[in-house]
Amino acid sequence: MIRFEPRSNPGPLLVYGVPVLAATIAILLAAIPLALAGAPIIEAYGLMISGAFGSVFSTSEMLTRATPLILTGLAAAIAFRAKLWNIGAEGQLYMGAMAAVAVGSGVIDGPSWVMIPVVIIAGMAAGALMLIGPTLLKTRLGVDEVVTTLLLNFIVLLFVQMMLEGALKDPMSMGWPQSEPVIDSAAFPALLERMRVHIGLIIALVSAVALAIFVKRTIWGFEIRAVGENAAAAKFSGISVTKTMILVAALSGGLAGLAGVSEVAGTRGYLATDLSPGYGYAGIVVAMLARLSPIGVIASALFVASVFVGADSMSRAIGVSSYLADLIVAMALLCVLIGGFLTRFKVHFDRKSVHG
């Protein structure tokens, strides 16, 4: 007979060691599909590592990929902390990107110290508004936010496609559905010459630290944690659950919108329907790997980004599908979920004696 006993106080070794162990196990388990594909396993792992860390260029590409993952990971982490199940970060990312292009492609002009904050504020506001609506439906009418935020992803993408064929279309794009480019004064400066990594990375890192302090050290952060632990008890103690959830929605949606800003103002320079390869959905995985810790999000985003960049490099070198990266990330998430359960509960195997 299997019996589960809650742990009174899991030690730091369990809390912080489980995600690391989960990532390690996932990478080791990747040897199975590699072997089935007939790939040289040791060489494949070496190519993955060199593809993500083998040169300044490869490392900069990994950091470029990690930037939106940090921001969408933070968006998911703060929402899930309050039990607001935001599955719509992908749509919020696109809305943030579209708002940034709308104000940053020449409608208004000014120096960089004016334009960069303008596109950031516009993108974050658009992303926040995208989540505040479903949050009000949840708090006022009890509508499931998983459904509303997920479906809004598809609605937003269709809306972006419409805008790229209409008001936002670049007349110089030779018929391709893309927006006019962001003007130079609104573009994020590069951190390294001739590399794509930009100040969006610094903004993402600062956002993670600021969110960690906000959640742990402020009254608002305490209220968010209280609502997440027990909304009924929080309401009984005088905390406004609705206001707290709206604050969480503004933060979560704003961070996802900021990820969209970083892509159009930093990496791509313009908006297209293939702007995101799924950063909004991957942010959920990043947040879960980090166990909803804002600082942990940085490490998990770097892990996920290195897996994706390394797998792309490996697939080009030995002909193995780059979808191996998705498999590794999925296995890491599964291992973290199992590890999280074992962190909270002790497993006991009780033997019953059988008498004839």
pLDDT in tens, 259-314: 999 999 999 999 999 999 999 999 999 998 898 999 999 999 999 999 889 888 88
- pLDDT tens-digit profile of 311-331? 888 888 887 777 777 888 888
Q: Is there a domain that residue 348 lies in? A: no
Cα angle value 56/59/61 (rounded, 5°) = 110
CB 352 within 8 A of CB 1: yes
What does pLDDT average to over the chain? Answer: 90
Q: Which range marks the domain in which residue 109 is found?
A: 70-291
Give the CA distances from residue 128 to residues 156, 348, 351, in Å, rounded to whole numbers and listed in that order. Answer: 14, 45, 54
Predicted local confidence at residue 356, as pLDDT: 45
- pLDDT tens-digit profile of 155-189? 999 999 999 998 889 888 777 889 999 999 999 99
Rg value, the chain, Cα: 22
CB 259 within 8 A of CB 75: yes
Closest Cα to residue 214, out of 228, 224, 204, 201? 224
Residues 69 and 149: their CA atoms lie apart, in Å, by 19
- Please check the confidence at residue 99 and state whether its pLDDT lies above 50: yes
Q: Is there a domain that residue 251 lies in? A: yes
- Please check the confidence at residue 355 and state whether its pLDDT lies above 60: no
Q: Is there a domain that residue 23 lies in? A: no
CB 90 within 8 A of CB 96: no
Count of CB atoms situated within 10 Å of the CB of 277: 10
Q: Is there a domain that residue 340 lies in? A: no
Q: Is there a domain that residue 89 lies in? A: yes
Residues 334 and 355: their CA atoms lie apart, in Å, by 40
The residue to which tokens 């505040």 are assigned: 132
Sign of CA dihedral 213, 216, 220, 224: positive
- pLDDT tens-digit profile of 22-71? 888 888 888 888 888 788 888 888 988 998 899 999 999 999 999 999 99
- pLDDT tens-digit profile of 128-140? 999 999 999 999 9
Q: Is there a domain that residue 303 lies in? A: no
- Please check the confidence at residue 152 and state whether its pLDDT lies above 90: yes
Q: Is there a domain that residue 148 lies in? A: yes
Q: Is there a domain that residue 178 lies in? A: yes
Predicted local confidence at residue 351, as pLDDT: 67
**Does the global pTM surpass 0.75?**
yes
Query: Based on the number of CB atoms within 10 Å of its own CB, is 348 exposed (0-12), middle (13-18) or buried (19 or more)?
Result: exposed
How many domains does one find in the chain?
1
